[in-house]
Amino acid sequence: MKGLFLKHPVMRKLLAFGLMAGFTLALAEAFKVAPEKYRGWNHVKSMVIFDQKHPLFNPFNGVHHVYVNNKGLEAIKRDGEREFPNGTVIAIVFYEHVHDNGAYVEGAKRIEAFMVKDRKYKETNGWGYFAYDGNGNNLVKDMAKDCHACHSQVKNKDFVFSVWTK
Ligand code: HEC
């Protein structure tokens, strides 16, 4: 039965397509770090984007925190020209900002995003970009368009905006 199924040319095409789609999906979601892990890294900075007038309000509104692993620590402390070593991972996590009696506190998790320095990401100057919504769904279709284009504003800082809060 299985042999017959595979001999059918349309079925073969469908199967090949399914495998390819599955493979692309696997590639697209290949990288994720657990909160328990990145929250044990180095905290770089935090920020609250609470008003429409901020250019990042849509989609990056809320409270966010940035963390870097030990590999990238020295570079992120350098403001201006810098180059992150292979193996650097930077995490940014966004939460809703909830008004609480004169304070903004963290609400539900909105986005988790990662930048990974690896030479294999040739088209995006050695950075891999990954992002997920609060339910863990992949948000990146095209690293170059969805992420790297905007990060190219800070090419001179090796595409990383964040600077260590002193
Ligand atoms: C419209 C511009 C824009 C787009 C698009 C964008 N980013 Fe960013 N990203 C920023 C800015 C600005 C910061 C710095 C935030 C801060 O100062 O706290 C940042 C910060 C980050 C950081 C922390 C390291 C750093 O550069 O400061 C990561 C990780 C990150 N973004 C990943 C992504 C991923 C993954 C995508 C694609 C889904 C993406 N970004 C799309 C503007 C953008």
Nearest CA to ligand 1 atom 17: 162
Report the separation in Å between the CA atom of 16 and the middle of ligand 1, taken as the mean of its atom positions: 36
Evaluate the omega torsion of the peptide bond into residue 59 and state whether it is cis, within 30 degrees of 0.
yes
User: Ligand 1: which of 147, 153, 160, 164 to mutate, most ligand atoms within 8 Å of CB?
Assistant: 147
- Domain ranges within the chain, ordered by starting residue: 1-30, 32-157
Helices then strands, each counted (H, E), the chain: 7, 5
Q: What is the pLDDT of residues 76-133, one digit of tens each?
A: 999 888 999 999 999 999 999 999 999 999 999 999 999 999 999 999 999 999 999 9
Q: Answer for the pair 116, 89: CB distance below 8 angstroms, yes or no.
A: yes
Nearest CA to ligand 1 atom 11: 161
CATH of domain 32-157: 3.50.70.20
The answer to whether the CB of 139 is under 6 A from ligand 1 is: yes
Per-residue model confidence as pLDDT tens digits over 117-132: 999 999 999 999 999 9
